[in-house]
Amino acid sequence: MATCPQGHASGADDYCDVCGAQMGAAVGPAMDAAAGSATGAAAPVPAPGPAGRAEPPGEECPVCRTPRAGQFCEVCGHDYTGTAPARVAVTGARWEAVTAADRAYYDEVIAQGGPDAHAVAFPPYCPQRSFALTGEQVRIGRRSRTRGSDPEIDLSGPPEDPGVSHLHAVLLAHGDDSWSLVDPGSANGTRVNGKPVTVNVPVPVGAGDRIHLGAWTVITIRQGTP
């Protein structure tokens, strides 16, 4: 085991793992960083940031968790000095819709009956899919060449939920980075967090809200770029 210039037994041979002194360096006032030197030298401190504050290593943005690289977050614009509010983009790129199959919702739909209920089977496998919410409108439905329908959130599968209309619902973006959902008149209706949506009446939706439609489809709204 090596001995540093300060007389500490160190397991490392480059810098002392007790006081941090460089191994093999000359002992002198300027090297005594632990206790302060005779000339007044102090232990090193982190380099100051743009606003004169030290930037702790590994610090993350409290808003979007992006590693810090300056006074403002490079992704959401958060001001680390606290002198200005976070600058949040309102383009909708920070939101996503995740689609999946919900067995409990399917069982409820089938229990209500219907002319085709006996012919609708729950899919044995339905992978989650993520869709970025961008632009002023995001249509939800099933693609159809004959109808000229090509929704941004395409639920045509596979597997395909037969209870989803070609244009089932629309997500509308607002200037304050919020969203609402409108059902323009789907055949089988839409629910938000278990409550039926009235046709053509906007319903606010945000992070964690669940949209049910069709025979077994659930869409969860999340913050974060897909």
The stretch 7-13 carries a mean pLDDT of: 72
* pLDDT confidence of residue 80: 63
Which element (helix H / strand E) includes 96? strand 95-101
Whole-Å CA distances, 94 to 135, 173, 206:
11, 12, 12
* pLDDT confidence of residue 52: 46
Q: 95-223 architecture in CATH?
A: Sandwich (2.60)
- Report which of residues 169 and 48 the model is more confident about: 169
Instruction: Name the residue ranges covered by the structural domains of the chain.
Output: 45-88, 95-223
Q: What is the pLDDT of residues 134-179, one digit of tens each?
A: 999 999 999 988 877 899 999 998 899 999 999 999 999 998 889 9
Q: What is the pLDDT of residues 89-142, one digit of tens each?
A: 344 348 999 999 999 999 999 998 877 778 899 999 999 999 999 999 999 999
Q: 81 falls in which pLDDT band (50, 70, 90)?
A: low
* pLDDT confidence of residue 90: 40
- Report which of residues 56 and 176 the model is more confident about: 176
pLDDT of 78 strictly over 80 = no
Q: How far apart are CA 89 and CA 224, in angstroms?
A: 12
Write phi, then psi, for 111 (nearest 5 degrees): -65, -25
Tell me which DSSP letter residue 108 carries. H
**DSSP E strands: which ranges in 102-206?**
129-132, 137-141, 153-154, 169-173, 179-182, 190-192, 195-196, 203-205
pTM beyond 0.75: no
